[in-house]
Amino acid sequence: MRKIFLVSMVLLLVMAFIAPALAMPVDEVTTYGFSPERNREAKVDGNLFHLAWYHGGSAGYTSFSEPLILDGDHWGGRLAGKTVVLTVEGNRLCGYVLDAPTLDRAPTFHEEKPAWSIKLDGVKKSKSDPTFVDKGSKKYVYVGTYSPALDFVDISDFDNPRLKSINVLHTTDITSSPLVLDWRGHEVAVATTGNTGKILLIIDQGKKVFYIDAGAGRTSSSPAPVAGGRAFAVGLDQGPSRGELRIYYLDDLLDIRDGEVVQVSQKARVAERLYSGLAGSFAVDGDVLYFGDQQSHLYAYDTKHKTFLWKNRTHAPHFAHRSPALTSDTVYWSAVEKPGQIIALDKATGRTRSVSKQFSSRAQTPPTVASTPTSKTIWAGTGGGWMVGLHADDLQKERFKSFQVVTGALKDKFGSGVAGTVSAAGKWAVASTEAGIIAWRLADRFNLQAVDLQTGIPEGEKAQPGQTYQGTATFKYESGDYGTVPEAPVGVFVNGEYVTLTDENGKELPKRTIDKQTFYYLEDLKRGEERTVYFTWKATRAGKITAVINLDKPPVMWFFQEDTFEDNELTVPIPMDAVNLVAVSIDPGTDEAKPGQRYRGTVTFANDSDVALTQVAVGFFNGKYRGYLKDSSGNTVTRINLEAHEEQKYSIEWQAPQSGTVTLKGVIDTPPLPDDYPETDETDNICEAEAPVIGALVKSSGTLTFHAINQAGHKGLGPVKHRPVNEAKWTDWVTAILKPKAPTPPKGTLVSWEITSAKLTYPKKHPCFTFGSPWPPQGTRTINMTPKGHTAVAEFEEDWSLNGAPIYARWIDCDGSFIDEGPIPGPTPYTITAQYTIKYTYQYQVKHRDCDTVCDAEGNCHRDCDTWYETVTKTSTTSGTVSQDLLVTGTGVGSYAS
**In whole angstroms, how large is the CA radius of gyration of the chain?**
39
What percentage of the chain reaches a pLDDT higher than 70?
A: 92
pLDDT at 695: 58
Sign of the CA dihedral with 36 first, then 40, 43, and 49 last: positive
CATH number for the domain running over 21-443: 2.130.10.10
Q: Which residues pair with 164 in a beta bridge?
A: 152
Query: DSSP 3-state assignment of 477?
Result: strand
At the topology level, CATH places domain 447-574 in: Immunoglobulin-like (2.60.40)
Q: Angle at CA 719, nearest 5°, toward 716 and 721?
A: 110
pLDDT at 629: 95
Query: DSSP 3-state assignment of 11?
Result: helix
CA-based nearest residue to 226, from 14, 36, 367: 36
501: number of Cβ within 10 Å? 21
pLDDT at 59: 65
pLDDT digits (tens, 9 = 90+) for 264-297: 999 999 999 999 989 889 999 999 999 999 888 9
Residue 74 dihedral angles phi and psi, to the nearest 5°:
-55, -35
User: Which of 260-269, 600-609, 763-772, 808-817 has the lowest average pLDDT?
Assistant: 808-817
CA-based nearest residue to 197, from 170, 171, 216: 216
pLDDT digits (tens, 9 = 90+) for 211-245: 999 988 888 889 999 999 999 999 999 888 889 99
Residues of the chain with CATH 2.60.40.10: 447-574, 581-692
Residue 160 has pLDDT above 60, yes or no: yes
pLDDT at 560: 92
Q: How confident is the model at residue 409 (pLDDT cuts 50, 70, 90)?
A: low
Residue 205 dihedral angles phi and psi, to the nearest 5°:
60, 40
Number of H helices, E strands in the chain: 3, 66
Q: How confident is the model at residue 177 (pLDDT cuts 50, 70, 90)?
A: very high
pTM > 0.85: yes or no = no
Rounded to the nearest angstrom, the gap between the alpha carbon of residue 336 and the centroid of all alpha carbons in its chain is 14
Q: Residue 657: is the preceding peptide bond cis (ω within 30°)?
A: no
Q: How confident is the model at residue 855 (pLDDT cuts 50, 70, 90)?
A: low
Residue 756 has pLDDT above 60, yes or no: yes
| Cα 316 from Cα 340, distance rounded (Å) | 13
187: number of Cβ within 10 Å? 15
Q: How confident is the model at residue 412 (pLDDT cuts 50, 70, 90)?
A: low
DSSP string, 768-831: T--SSS-PPP-SEEEEE-EEETTEEEEEEE--S--TTS--EEEEE-TTS-EEEEEEPP-SEEEE
pLDDT digits (tens, 9 = 90+) for 297-318: 999 999 999 999 999 988 878 7
3-state secondary structure 48-67: EEEEEEEEECCHHHCCCCCC
| DSSP 8-state secondary structure symbol assigned to residue 463 | P
Match domain 702-840+880-891 to its CATH number in 2.60.120, 2.80.10, 2.60.40, 1.10.3470.
2.60.40
At the topology level, CATH places domain 581-692 in: Immunoglobulin-like (2.60.40)
Sign of the CA dihedral with 683 first, then 684, 685, and 688 last: positive
Q: Which residues pair with 736 in a beta bridge?
A: 706, 794
| DSSP 8-state secondary structure symbol assigned to residue 77 | G
